[in-house]
Amino acid sequence: MPTGMPRGLSSWVAALGCACQSHAVGDRSQSKSPSSPPSSSGVASATAARGPTFGSNLDPPRARSLRRELVDRIASTRQVGNEAVLQAMRDVPRHLFANAVFLDLAYADRPLPIGFGQTISQPTIVAIMTDALELSGNERVLEIGTGSGYQAAVLSLVSKEVYSIEVIPDLGHEAAERLRRLGYANVRVRVGDGYTGWPQMAPFDRIIVTAAPPSVPQTLLSELSDDGILVAPIGREHGEQTLYRFRKRGGSVEQEDLGSVRFVPMVAGD
């Protein structure tokens, strides 16, 4: 169980207003954002790098090539249909989201520890969950479980706005500061209990839960817009957990089984 559980905590932090290079939001298939480096041909490509760009001090060539290999391996499994999701994972330097980590560990297809007994999910799972949201680039997305901010950074490149809630204050504040510093300007982080959602910002087109609740939180379903999609691992901490996609349609909710998974529990922050 994480320590430092907030009780009725209302403090929240925004990752807006970054001094770094920011990026345009919207459909990835549109032309390159102003922050993208000019290509040698000067021709915009559909999968051109988007979002913040990093110098080789922060994102050395070895990190880039390990990341490319990792995403190529994920792509080769054909579990991810949305090419923009794969491109976002090529663009976001995962090693900058966990402290003092060896590059090999950051780019292995494994969960990555981030302190407080929490981890960034395995890259394949991040890819599958992001893909399952069926994002076109124009959605407002709510994430439960900010953790390091990695998943939020990936989401920020394939959606319009990302709202993310983290229950452990130190993790939430650190993630907000990291996202701000790295230039993911369309992400807002709030420290609080994800079970209560973010009513002031609802409804959301998409909701992604990155810790496992025992059953789907009704408050989150109520904050989902009609035709919205919620993706969440559901199940007990040491028991069977299943990744589900919930689709809201005209007042009813369809549920789809996306396979077995293992996540840290979504804790009650009463």
Bridging pattern class, strands 204-209 and 224-235: parallel
Residues paired with residue 252 on neighbouring β-strands, in sequence order: 249
Using the rule CB under 6 A, give the single segment among 59-67, 115-123, 225-233, 254-262 that binds ligand SAH.
115-123
Interactions with ligand SAH, residue window 198-227 (CB under 6 A): 210-211
171-190 mask for ligand SAH (x: CB under 6 A)? Answer: x-------------------
Q: Please, what's the b/e burial string for 5-21 (b: 16 or more CB within 10 A of its CB; e: otherwise)?
A: ebeebeebbebeebeeb
Question: What letter represents residue 125's amino acid?
Answer: I
What residue type is 2 in one-letter code? Answer: P
Q: Measured from the CB atom, is 150 or 246 closer to ligand SAH?
A: 150
- Could you say which of 54, 107, 150, 246 contacts ligand SAH (CB under 6 A)? 150
22 labelled catalytic? no
86 or 264: whose CB is closer to ligand SAH? 264
When binding is defined by CB under 6 A, the residue of 168, 220, 231, 232 that contacts ligand SAH is 168
Out of 33, 151, 159, 241, point to the residue binding ligand SAH (CB under 6 A): 151
In the set 121, 148, 159, 164, the catalytic residue is 121
State how far Cα 91 lies from the chain centre. Answer: 13
For residue 161, which of 138, 178, 191 has the smallest C-alpha distance?
138
When asked if residue 92 is in the footprint of ligand SAH (CB under 6 A), the reply is no
Distance separating alpha carbons of residues 16 and 183, to the nearest angstrom: 9
> Strand 241-249 to strand 224-235: parallel, antiparallel, or no bridges (unpaired)?
antiparallel
3-state secondary structure of 40: coil
Q: How many CA atoms lie within 13 A of 30 on its CB side?
A: 13
Q: Counting contacts by CB under 6 A, is residue 13 touching ligand SAH? A: no
Residue 194 makes contact with ligand SAH by CB under 6 A: yes
Q: Site residues (CB under 6 A) for ligand SAH?
A: 2, 114, 118-121, 144-145, 147-148, 150-151, 165-168, 171, 193-195, 210-211, 264, 266-267, 269
The residues annotated with a catalytic role in the active site are: 121
